[in-house]
Amino acid sequence: MTTSGDAGPDVLPNAAAPRRTWLAFSPPSVDQAEIDEVADTLRSAWITTGPKTQRFEREFAAFVRAPGALALNSCTAALHTALATLGIGPSDEVITTPMTFAASVNVIEHVGARPVLVDVEPDTLNIDPAAITAAITPRTKAILPVHYAGHPADLDRIGELARAHGLAVVEDAAHAIPATYRGRFIGAGPNPVAFSFYATKNLTTAEGGMLTGEPAFLERARVLSLHGMTRDGWQRYHEGGSWFYEVVVPGFKYNMTDIQAAMGLCQLRKQEEFQRRRREVVARYTSAFADDEALEVPVTRPDVTHAWHLFVLRLRPQALRIGRDQFVAELTARNIGTSVHFIPVHLHPYYRNKYGYRPDDFPVAYENFRRMLSLPLHPGLSDGDVSDVIEAVLAVAGAHRR
């Protein structure tokens, strides 16, 4: 897919590559501590869902000050389990954003409900509360905001709408560890909040996720997340456990393993250090790019703490002779790994064909998608790496300035 005014993805064969080795976009930050903790689990008598998973749930809940936490095998599983536990299904509607990974919307389809997409705010690229208001119908049962790139959505206005119309709020916090909104951690509230521990995330267990919320809600979700069984494996097989269980609902296979939880426990202890380095990198990027007429840097509203999962740079087409795709290709030629977050949901064939969406149905999301790219951002970046990214971005922008 090419952008307006883009000369295409090809790069001149003599494109400069001052960096001699490839800079990966977002490798996991894992060291000996995780290796030792995983090895300890492998040497134990228990490697699937058990004591380390339980400990990880408790420590994660304490970290974000959540009422409770349920460890699962992905953020997708957490979102799906939350919707199913709420009883959302056929004939229901769930309002969400097109500016997200497809999993946020796929789970609405999985429970048989209709995803209702609405546009995003032009500064944060989070779901626009005004657009939510216009989309609410008698069939609306929930709002599913996504904290895009780690910047919290406008939870006060979303909460007001939800209370006024009797709707559930299920937050997609895949990017939002450890973001805060008005001084409170994302995940600290009573409503369901889903986190991701995918390999590129601020906290990783390779694959994995967490669902936070009220204990009573999580107990129902826990049963649903493991085949609908009244006892999990640890409750049946550890000393003093009972072999007896019952299936009370046709559930899923979404449990986290102790091997994953072992990594998570280590990563949780490193969050302060990780965030400090992320903020340092963001500060350097922002200082380097903020005054360039061809580049638009991310915003942070004053009432939030940004998690900085992503640094999404937006190009200004009026200042450049090339589009996003060629810009990315030329960074690649300079050994700088990048990505694009995200191809809006309504552009994907399944949703485009099923619901008849056109690209400009959500003009803010579409226009920003066409000019965005994500730069490397992770705790393992050296000062030299950051300098290489800055030099490459400014070189490409300078070479193609109008």
Task: Assess whether 292 and 247 both reside in one domain.
Answer: no
pLDDT (tens digit per residue) in 318-355: 999 999 999 999 999 999 999 999 999 999 999 999 99
Catalytically annotated residues: 201
Q: Domain holding 217: CATH number?
A: 3.40.640.10
pLDDT (tens digit per residue) in 196-227: 999 999 999 999 999 999 999 999 999 999 99
Task: Assess whether 256 and 277 both reside in one domain.
Answer: no
pLDDT (tens digit per residue) in 247-298: 889 999 999 999 999 999 999 999 999 999 999 999 999 999 999 999 999 9
Task: Assess whether 137 and 248 both reside in one domain.
Answer: yes
Task: Assess whether 264 and 278 both reside in one domain.
Answer: no
Q: Which of 269, 301, 328 is the last residue of a domain?
A: 269
Task: Assess whether 82 and 225 both reside in one domain.
Answer: yes
Rounded-to-integer distance, Cα 180 and Cα 296, Å = 24
Task: Assess whether 185 and 301 both reside in one domain.
Answer: no
Contact residues for 80 (Cβ-Cβ < 8 A; gap 6+)? 107, 110, 111, 252, 254
Rounded-to-integer distance, Cα 249 and Cα 308, Å = 39
Which domain does 306 fall in, by range? 271-338+376-399
Task: Assess whether 226 and 285 both reside in one domain.
Answer: no
**DSSP helix, strand, coil percent of the chain (3-state; round to 5):** 40, 15, 45
Residue keyed to tokens 């904290």: 147
Task: Assess whether 206 and 297 both reside in one domain.
Answer: no
Count of the separate structural domains present in the chain: 2
Task: Assess whether 184 and 278 both reside in one domain.
Answer: no
Q: What is the pTM of this model?
A: 0.92
Rounded-to-integer distance, Cα 22 and Cα 376, Å = 11
Rounded-to-integer distance, Cα 141 and Cα 174, Å = 22
Residue 286, both tokens: 């922002």
Task: Assess whether 171 and 304 both reside in one domain.
Answer: no
Q: Domain holding 296: CATH number?
A: 3.90.1150.10
Is residue 315 domain-resident?
yes
pLDDT (tens digit per residue) in 18-64: 799 999 999 999 999 999 999 999 999 999 999 999 999 999 999 99
Rounded-to-integer distance, Cα 184 and Cα 179, Å = 8
Q: Which of 245, 269, 293 is the last residue of a domain?
A: 269
Task: Assess whether 258 and 205 both reside in one domain.
Answer: yes
Is residue 24 domain-resident?
no
Is residue 300 domain-resident?
yes
Q: Which of 247, 269, 291 is the last residue of a domain?
A: 269
- Sort strands 171-172 and 168-169 into parallel, antiparallel or unpaired: unpaired
Summarize the confidence of residues 357-386 as an average pLDDT: 98
